[in-house]
Structure 1
Amino acid sequence: MNSLYLASQSPRRRELLTQIGVQYQMVSVDVPEQREACESPSDYVCRLALQKARAGFQALQSRRLCSSEELAKAVVLGADTLGVLGDEVFEKPLDHNHARQMLRQLSGASHQILSAVALVSGERHALRLVTTQVNFRELSDEEIDAYWASGEPCDKAGAYGIQGLGAVFVKSIEGSYSGVVGLPLTETAELLKDFCVPVWQAQD
């Protein structure tokens, strides 16, 4: 049985892994989230997920966070999520005005959430990308401002959290709910199985 390390500070991803009984340890990474010129949204989100997983594995090596025996059984998970409307990418809002702009664009429209998950172990890696369509109802400016004041949108791709107060904006989705939250669980569990990391473990 291999040991999993999560290269993410996202509380949503931690909660989702715990939800399916995956035991893991945290590893801190710093990967710049800057889209390259002419890079498609799908290429961008996949690159970030894989870079985070690779950076996590390198951190285990360089910082000597585990023994050589533990490193041989270490698997690092990296993930990234972003929203797409037309050709525009929606990441985390920079401020109130940016969040208001994004939510106005999403209002009454359908957009896509791209969620990529990558696993790295030694020289081996695997990657999955999940696309979900999210359909919003019409939003008023008063709702948008009140939502920002709640504090929830600050660290969310697309400036909303479907698992929280932002759920009232969503008419329907087509695809992976957990992918919209930040980690597509079906695909993640399949990858973990391939890397001999079990789900449904009893939590310590």
Structure 2
Amino acid sequence: MPQRLTHIILASASPRRQQLLLQLQPALQLMIQPAEIDESLIEGEAASVRVLRLAQAKAEASWQRLTPAQQAWPLLAADTEVVLDGQALSKPASPEEAAGFLTRLAGREHQVQTCVVLKTAQQTSHCLVTTQVKMRALDPAEIEAYIATQEYQDKAGGYAIQGQAAAFIEQIQGSYTNVVGLPLEAVYQLLTHHGYTVI
């Protein structure tokens, strides 16, 4: 029998992911259990392998911190990477690195890849979602002005499509919510696969 989704554990402190989950199910009770793992890049690791590795590690790390009672709820973990020429552009460590990311992305197509992991006491499932994104050409002054907003902070690739960087995006093929940080259609499908009724 399908079970109504009322609670979920989110292995992330991202306010964007919290907002997206509540968009999917406004009455959902969220338990925020951020996972503290090593997210260092591994030389030569493919982006699709990286997002799967990190999402699975986040899910496992958060699950281990739960009480047996909390493990009755589903746990959701995700990792999102901006990928250019096969290379993951993670969260920039400085304004200079963010400006470098935007300079490389400007006028080109890139991919946003998210791996979503849903874990319950009975099973663990995952899916990988890729969205094609084209950013228009940017001049150095635009990049400098955007960096000054500090919106780039804690954003893969150094930009937020749901913020002021929306003015930079020419075209998207695929999931918009994936680019924000959590592909809701994939989350919905994973939850229904695990026997939950969401809507």
TM-score by length of 2: 0.92
Among 27, 36, 41, the alignment partner of 1:35 is 41
Question: Are residues 92 and 59 of structure 1, via their aligned partners in 2, closer, same or farther at CA, if it must alter by over 3 Å?
Answer: same
1:146-197 alpha-carbon deviations (Å, 9 max, x no partner): 1111111111101000011000000010011000000000010111112234
What residue is the counterpart of 1:122 in the other structure? 121
| Deviates most, 19-28 or 157-166 | 19-28
Partner of 2:169: 170
SS in 2 for 1:155: coil
| 1:77 lines up with 2:111 in the alignment | no
The residue correspondences of 1:99-114 to structure 2 (distance < 5 A) are 99-114=98-113
Displacement of 1:69: 4.2
Determine the structure 2 residue equivalent to 1:19.
23
> Partner letter of residue 95 of structure 2?
H
Unpaired runs of 5+ residues, structure 2, are none
TM-score using structure 1 length: 0.89
- Say whether residues 1:10 and 2:9 are aligned partners: no
Structure 2: which amino acid aligns with 1:120?
A: K
- Kindly provide the CA deviation profile for residues 28-53 of structure 1, in whole angstroms up to 9, marking residues without a partner as x: 32011123233211010011111111
Cα distance in 1 for residues equivalent to 2:165 and 2:100: 16
Does the 8 A contact of 2:46 with 2:87 survive in 1? no
Deviations 1:52-89 (A, max 9, x none): 111111110xxx3xxx3442x22111001011110321
Q: Would the aligned equivalents of 2:117 and 2:125 in 1 still touch at CA under 8 Å?
A: yes
- Give the direction of change, closer, same or farther, for the CA distance of 1:104–1:70 in structure 2 (3 Å limit): closer
Task: Note if 1:185 corresponds to 2:189.
Answer: no
Counterpart in the other structure of 1:93: 92
5+ unaligned residues in a row in structure 1: which ranges?
none
**Given the alignment of the two structures, is residue 53 of structure 1 paired with residue 59 of structure 2, yes or no?**
yes
Write the distance in 1 (CA, Å) between the matches of 2:69 and 2:145: 52
- 8 Å contact from structure 1 (residues 113, 131) kept in 2: yes
What secondary structure is seen at the aligned counterpart in 2 of 1:189? helix
User: How far, CA to CA, are the matches of 1:15 and 1:30 in structure 2?
Assistant: 21
Identity %: 39
AA of the residue aligned to 2:120? S
1:115: Cα distance to partner? 0.9
Instruction: Tell me the C-alpha RMSD between the 2 structures.
Output: 1.4
The alpha carbon displacement at 1:104 in A equals 0.4
What amino acid is aligned across from residue 40 of structure 1 in structure 2? A
